[in-house]
Every structure is written in structure tokens, then in C-alpha cells.
Amino acid sequence: MNGFPSRSQVERIKKRYPAGTRIELISMDDPYAPIEPGMQGTVELVDDAGGLQMKWDNGRTLGIVPGEDSFKVISKPQEESQEQEQKQSMRGMSM
């Protein structure tokens, strides 16, 4: 992103990547402290500049910027809770 995104752009980013969204990093443009490609993490929040504040599975907390860093969404919070509900209902079934 060049400059700061508008308030409406930030709101769209927040809706697209809600807290709890799981992400896998493809590449990061940070020569000083990059996160390794393939690392997975969880979105903690989207800041007012549209950056995703991350908690990476290796314990680091470096944020990523949509449009500058490359990543893919693995799952969203709603998807995870639906998967857990399905697993629990399958355990309760007897044949």
C-alpha cells in the first residue's frame, strides 16, 4: 500500500481478516527481521493502518501488510468453530 489506506479500506481489511484468522506466509519484504516462508500464524487484530498484527506459531509477533507481503488464508474463525462442531457431533454418533 502506498501511504495510509482510507478508513473504508481498513474496514474492508478488518472484515476480510478478522481476529482468529489463520494465515500462511508466502513471502515478506522485511530485510531486518523476516518471518520464514511457510510459517503459519493467527491474526490478533487489524491496526488503523490496515496492517495485520500477527502471533506466529514460532512465538514471534511481527505484523504483515496486505498488498506488500504475500500470504494465504488457511482458515477463518467461523470455519474453525464449524469444523470443531462437526468433529464433536461425529464423536457422539454410534453405529
Which pLDDT value is given to residue 1? 46
Whole-structure pTM over 0.85, yes or no?
A: no
The domain made up of 7-91 has a fold known as SH3 type barrels. (2.30.30)
**Rounded CA separation 69/63 (Å):** 10
CA distance 1 to 3: 6
Domain positions in the chain: 7-91
Low-confidence stretches of the chain (pLDDT beneath 50)? 1
CB contact set of 95 (below 8 Å; sequence gap of 6+): none
CA 42, CA 90: separation in Å to the nearest integer?
Answer: 27
- Contact of 69 with 79, CB cutoff 8 Å: no
Q: What is the pLDDT of residue 34?
A: 83
